[in-house]
Chain A
């Protein structure tokens, strides 16, 4: 009897029986589930135990002024089951004024820098992260520049340096 991996549908059914109804959709063979922020960590922990053992990416979308959007930020967790080569996208929506979600660094060590990047550029706070510092912007930067309400040309940060002239150097 050859091994037949559980289908993504089976995983979703098990997920629904455990965490209540979760919204899910399929687009061109890629499955997406939306889970509430309150249980996001538990869902991701359970998914990891269920075979989705690889966290491919953590990223975020700002839905400010997006037509039909009901939430401000949409976190994206891309999971892969390395045993069965299945993929699953987990969406978690959070809102202002304090967009917060529980860190998954305790599940996947590789989430460390991914969450730091999301914190840096979108200002999503990951509670329980061991070292939530900025990743790409300078330490002193105060804004979160990939938010849609941040001006493209910045707020003067790129001009605020001492000028070194011929006399100074």
Chain B
């Protein structure tokens, strides 16, 4: 504790090696400098993602070098490459398995828009079905572009978030989360899947009843 000298009019004199901040800002500072990416790499963007993590571009300079293949250990999902409709339920399940606070980077033209693959099998942008924080243009983007996205995401993380995570802790949000956890591995066409229809209706009813 800095001592309050007498006669200073209530001002606190700090030594010059002391920084004053809010705990929220401290938490955000820790989070933004220790992002653990979940590499959802399905195509050539995945190769650039690997290059970004490798020695030349060295993602460790930004504290994000610890790629984990378990969603339970990650807080940054990097979707690198096209996502086909058969894969989308898996992507959604993995996103739901990640703990808050978590962020998502949509890397490359395919993940962001479907790219040139405007066909029956390819999802036309993952942001239609899961939340996305940063989009990286390019086909595939160079590692520098991905690094820029991570730097921008760090700025975003610094601006928001609380040390207690109280923004996640609303009752309605928890209920909605639980309702979705009950979903089976989701299928392509709900209108033709009675099991899914039943599940969706029950989940919606449960949410409505609790709200």
Known: A137-B86, A168-B180. A154 touches B191 (CB 8 A): no
Contacts of B129 in A (CB 8 A): 161-164
A161 and B120 form a contact (CB under 8 A): no
Give, as a whole number of angstroms, the nearest-CB distance from A129 to chain B: 22
B122 and A158 form a contact (CB under 8 A): yes
Contacts of B124 in A (CB 8 A): 158-159
A150 is an interface residue with CB less than 8 A from chain B: yes
State A159–B118 Cα separation when bound (angstroms).
Answer: 12
- Chain B residue with Cβ nearest A152: B119
A145 is an interface residue with CB less than 8 A from chain B: yes
Known: A140-B187, A169-B96. A157 touches B85 (CB 8 A): yes
Q: What 0/1 pattern do residues 159 to 190 of B give for CB contact below 8 A with A? A: 00000000000001100110010010011111
B120 and A157 form a contact (CB under 8 A): yes
CB neighbors of B among A86-105 (8 A): none
B131 and A165 form a contact (CB under 8 A): yes
Number of A-B contacts (CB under 8 A): 88
A151 is an interface residue with CB less than 8 A from chain B: yes
Q: Which of A154, A155, A159, A167 contacts B128 (CB 8 A)?
A: A159
Q: What 0/1 pattern do residues 125 to 163 of A give for CB contact below 8 A with B? A: 000000000001111111001000011111101111111
- Chain B residue with Cβ nearest A150: B120
State A80–B102 Cα separation when bound (angstroms).
Answer: 54
A109 is an interface residue with CB less than 8 A from chain B: no
B54 is an interface residue with CB less than 8 A from chain A: no
B189 and A160 form a contact (CB under 8 A): yes
A28 is an interface residue with CB less than 8 A from chain B: no
State A153–B27 Cα separation when bound (angstroms).
Answer: 45
**A-B pairs with beta carbons under 8 Å apart, 23 shown:** A138-B85, A138-B188, A140-B187, A140-B189, A140-B192, A141-B188, A150-B120, A155-B120, A157-B85, A157-B120, A159-B128, A160-B188, A160-B191, A162-B92, A162-B183, A164-B95, A164-B131, A164-B180, A167-B176, A168-B96, A168-B177, A169-B95, A169-B131
Q: A140-B189, A140-B192 are in contact. List 19 more A-B contacts (CB 8 A).
A: A138-B85, A141-B188, A142-B189, A145-B120, A150-B120, A153-B119, A157-B85, A158-B120, A158-B122, A158-B124, A160-B190, A161-B128, A161-B186, A162-B186, A164-B96, A165-B131, A167-B173, A168-B176, A168-B180
